[in-house]
Structure 1
Amino acid sequence: MTVIGIDLGTSNSCVAVYRKDQVEIIPNDQGERVTPSWVSFTDDGRLIGNVAKQEVSTNFDRTLFQIKRLIGRTYDDPMVQADMKLWGFSLINDDNKPKISIEYQGRPKIFDPEEISAMILESLKTAAEERLDVTITDAVITVPAYFNNTQRNATIDAGRIAGLNVLRVINEPTAAAIAYGLEKKTNEEQNVLIFDLGGGTFDVTIVKIKNKIFDVRATGGDTHLGGDDFDNRMVNHFISEFNRKNDCDMSQNKRGIYRLRIACENAKKRLSTATNTTVQVDGLHNGIDFKSSITRAKFEVLNREYFENTIKTVKDALSSAAMDKSEIDKVVLVGGSTRIPKVRNLLQDFFGEKKINKTINPDEAVANGAAALASNMSNSGLSGIKDLKISDVVPLSLGWKDGGGDMITVVKRNTKIPTKKWNRNQTSKDYQTESTFCIYEGERAAAKDNHFLGMFCVKGIPAALRGVEKFKTCFIVDENGILTVTSRNVSTGKENQITIDNSGKLSEREIKRMIEDAKRFKQDDIEWKERSEQVHKLENSVYAVKHAVTGEMSHNCSDTDKKQIIENCEEIINWLRDNRNPQILDSKKKMADLEKICRPIFENIRDGSEILRIFQK
Structure 2
Amino acid sequence: MESWEGGEPAIGIDLGTTYSCVAVWKHDRIEIITNDQGNRTTPSCVAFTDVERLIGDGAKNQIARNPANTVFSRFQLSLYDLILIICFSHAFIALLIWLSYGILDAKRLIGRRFSEVMVKEDIKLMPFRVIEGPSDMPKVVVTHKGHEQQFSIEEISSMVLAKMKEIAEAYIGGTVKNAVITVPAYFNDCQRQATKDAATIAGLNVVRMINEPTAAAIAYGVDNRFGGKKNVLIFDLGGGTFDVSILTIDGVGKFEVKAVAGDTHLGGEDFDNRIVNYCVEDFKKKWNKDLTGNERALGRLKVACEKAKRILSYDTQTSVELEVLLDGIDFSMKITRAKFEELNMSFFTKCIKQLESCLADANMKKGSVDEVILVGGSTRIQKIQRMLHEFFDGKELCKSINPDEAVAYGAAVMAAKLCGQTTKMIKELVLLDVTPLSLGKEIIGERMHVVIPRNTPIPTKKTMNFVTTADNQSSTDIMVYQGERTRSTDNFLLGSFEISGIPPAPKGVAVLEDCFEIDDNGILTVTSKVVSTGKTKSLTVTNLSGRLSKRQIKKMVKAAEKFKLEDQEFKRKAEACNALEDYIYDLKNKIKRNDIPPKDLKNVQHAIDDTEEWLSTGNVASVDEIERKKEILEFISRLAIF
TM-score exceeds 0.5: yes
Aligned ranges for residues 536-551 of structure 1 at < 5 Å? 536-550=578-592
- Of residues 536-545 and 238-247 in structure 1, the stretch that sits farther from structure 2 once superposed is 238-247
**TM-aligned CA deviation for residue 504 of structure 1:** 2.6
The 3 A distance-change label for structure 1 pair 300 and 579 is farther
Aligned partners of 1:444 and 1:450 also within 8 Å: yes
2:260 & 2:591 partners in 1: Cα distance? 70
The one-letter code matched in structure 2 to 1:174 is T
**TM-aligned CA deviation for residue 86 of structure 1:** 1.2
Post-superposition CA distance 1:514-544 (Å, at most 9, x none): 0011011111211222222223223333334
Q: Of residues 406, 410, 413 in structure 1, which corresponds to 2:447?
A: 406
Q: Which position in structure 2 is the counterpart of 1:612?
A: none
The 3 A distance-change label for structure 1 pair 201 and 282 is same
Aligned ranges for residues 161-200 of structure 1 at < 5 Å? 161-200=201-240
1:183 & 1:326 partners in 2: Cα distance? 24
Q: Which position in structure 2 is the counterpart of 1:126?
A: 166
Q: Of residues 3, 6, 10 in structure 2, which corresponds to 1:3?
A: 10
Post-superposition CA distance 1:405-464 (Å, at most 9, x none): 211111111111111112122111122111222111111111111111111222111222
- Look up the SS of the partner of 2:140 in the other structure: strand
Q: Of residues 465, 471, 482 in structure 1, which corresponds to 2:512?
A: 471
**TM-aligned CA deviation for residue 586 of structure 1:** 5.4
Aligned partners of 1:436 and 1:458 also within 8 Å: yes
Q: Of residues 45, 55, 60 in structure 2, which corresponds to 1:48?
A: 55
Q: Which position in structure 1 is the counterpart of 2:106?
A: 67
- Of residues 253-262 and 346-355 in structure 1, the stretch that sits farther from structure 2 once superposed is 253-262
Post-superposition CA distance 1:299-351 (Å, at most 9, x none): 43443322221111111111111211111100111122222222222222222
Aligned partners of 2:232 and 2:372 also within 8 Å: yes
1:317 & 1:429 partners in 2: Cα distance? 40
Aligned ranges for residues 374-385 of structure 1 at < 5 Å? 374-385=415-426
- How many residues are matched? 600
Aligned partners of 2:597 and 2:640 also within 8 Å: no
**TM-aligned CA deviation for residue 181 of structure 1:** 0.6
Aligned partners of 1:435 and 1:457 also within 8 Å: yes
1:539 & 1:279 partners in 2: Cα distance? 46
1:368 & 1:182 partners in 2: Cα distance? 10
2:582 & 2:333 partners in 1: Cα distance? 43
The 3 A distance-change label for structure 1 pair 63 and 304 is farther
Task: Among all aligned residue pairs of Structure 1 and Structure 2, give the percentage whose two residues are the same amino acid.
Answer: 47
Q: Which position in structure 2 is the counterpart of 1:520?
A: 562
**TM-aligned CA deviation for residue 267 of structure 1:** 4.3
Post-superposition CA distance 1:457-515 (Å, at most 9, x none): 22111222211112222211111111112222222222222123442321111111100
The one-letter code matched in structure 2 to 1:79 is M
Q: Of residues 173, 176, 199 in structure 2, which corresponds to 1:159?
A: 199
**TM-aligned CA deviation for residue 220 of structure 1:** 0.2
Post-superposition CA distance 1:115-160 (Å, at most 9, x none): 1110000000010011011210111111111111101111111111
Residue 359 in structure 1 maps to residue 406 in structure 2: no
Q: Of residues 110, 117, 140 in structure 2, which corresponds to 1:100?
A: 140
Aligned partners of 2:14 and 2:181 also within 8 Å: yes
2:315 & 2:585 partners in 1: Cα distance? 45
Structure 1: unaligned runs, 5 residues or longer: 604-617
Aligned partners of 1:535 and 1:582 also within 8 Å: no
Residue 584 in structure 1 maps to residue 623 in structure 2: yes
1:601 & 1:354 partners in 2: Cα distance? 79
Aligned ranges for residues 442-591 of structure 1 at < 5 Å? 442-501=483-542, 502-550=544-592, 553=593, 579=618, 583-585=622-624, 587-588=626-627, 591=630
Residue 387 in structure 1 maps to residue 428 in structure 2: yes
**TM-aligned CA deviation for residue 270 of structure 1:** 3.7
2:323 & 2:438 partners in 1: Cα distance? 50
- Look up the SS of the partner of 1:57 in the other structure: helix
**TM-aligned CA deviation for residue 59 of structure 1:** 1.6
Aligned partners of 2:136 and 2:545 also within 8 Å: no
2:40 & 2:184 partners in 1: Cα distance? 21
1:466 & 1:198 partners in 2: Cα distance? 51
1:595 & 1:305 partners in 2: Cα distance? 70
1:292 & 1:134 partners in 2: Cα distance? 55
Q: Which position in structure 1 is the counterpart of 2:181?
A: 141
Post-superposition CA distance 1:543-575 (Å, at most 9, x none): 34434544xx25x67889879877876886677
- Look up the SS of the partner of 1:356 in the other structure: coil
The 3 A distance-change label for structure 1 pair 292 and 587 is farther
2:612 & 2:312 partners in 1: Cα distance? 45
**TM-aligned CA deviation for residue 60 of structure 1:** 1.6
1:123 & 1:198 partners in 2: Cα distance? 22
The one-letter code matched in structure 1 to 2:13 is I
Aligned partners of 2:477 and 2:497 also within 8 Å: yes
Residue 83 in structure 1 maps to residue 122 in structure 2: yes
Q: Which position in structure 2 is the counterpart of 1:328?
A: 369
Residue 222 in structure 1 maps to residue 222 in structure 2: no
Post-superposition CA distance 1:199-231 (Å, at most 9, x none): 221100000110211111110001111223333
- Look up the SS of the partner of 1:86 in the other structure: coil
The alignment's C-alpha RMSD in Å is 2.9
**TM-aligned CA deviation for residue 271 of structure 1:** 3.5
Q: Which position in structure 2 is the counterpart of 1:338?
A: 379
Q: Which position in structure 2 is the counterpart of 1:614?
A: none
2:162 & 2:392 partners in 1: Cα distance? 40
Aligned partners of 1:16 and 1:24 also within 8 Å: yes
- Look up the SS of the partner of 2:425 in the other structure: coil
1:309 & 1:446 partners in 2: Cα distance? 23
1:385 & 1:432 partners in 2: Cα distance? 54
The 3 A distance-change label for structure 1 pair 581 and 247 is farther
Residue 432 in structure 1 maps to residue 473 in structure 2: yes
- Look up the SS of the partner of 2:426 in the other structure: coil
1:567 & 1:257 partners in 2: Cα distance? 54
- Of residues 589-598 and 41-50 in structure 1, the stretch that sits farther from structure 2 once superposed is 589-598
Aligned partners of 2:597 and 2:641 also within 8 Å: no
Aligned partners of 1:392 and 1:417 also within 8 Å: yes
**TM-aligned CA deviation for residue 40 of structure 1:** 1.1
The 3 A distance-change label for structure 1 pair 272 and 460 is same
2:322 & 2:598 partners in 1: Cα distance? 50
2:121 & 2:190 partners in 1: Cα distance? 20
The one-letter code matched in structure 2 to 1:534 is A
The one-letter code matched in structure 2 to 1:35 is T
The one-letter code matched in structure 1 to 2:210 is I
Aligned partners of 2:33 and 2:168 also within 8 Å: yes
- Look up the SS of the partner of 1:509 in the other structure: helix
2:408 & 2:358 partners in 1: Cα distance? 23
The one-letter code matched in structure 1 to 2:216 is A
Aligned partners of 1:418 and 1:479 also within 8 Å: yes
Aligned partners of 1:56 and 1:259 also within 8 Å: no
The one-letter code matched in structure 2 to 1:158 is A
The 3 A distance-change label for structure 1 pair 522 and 405 is same
**TM-aligned CA deviation for residue 268 of structure 1:** 3.6
Aligned partners of 2:112 and 2:546 also within 8 Å: no
1:67 & 1:116 partners in 2: Cα distance? 8
Post-superposition CA distance 1:376-427 (Å, at most 9, x none): 1112323321121111111111111111221111111111111111212211
- Look up the SS of the partner of 1:384 in the other structure: helix
Structure 2: unaligned runs, 5 residues or longer: 1-7, 73-104
1:290 & 1:562 partners in 2: Cα distance? 62
Post-superposition CA distance 1:261-309 (Å, at most 9, x none): 5554444434433444555667767898777665444443443322221
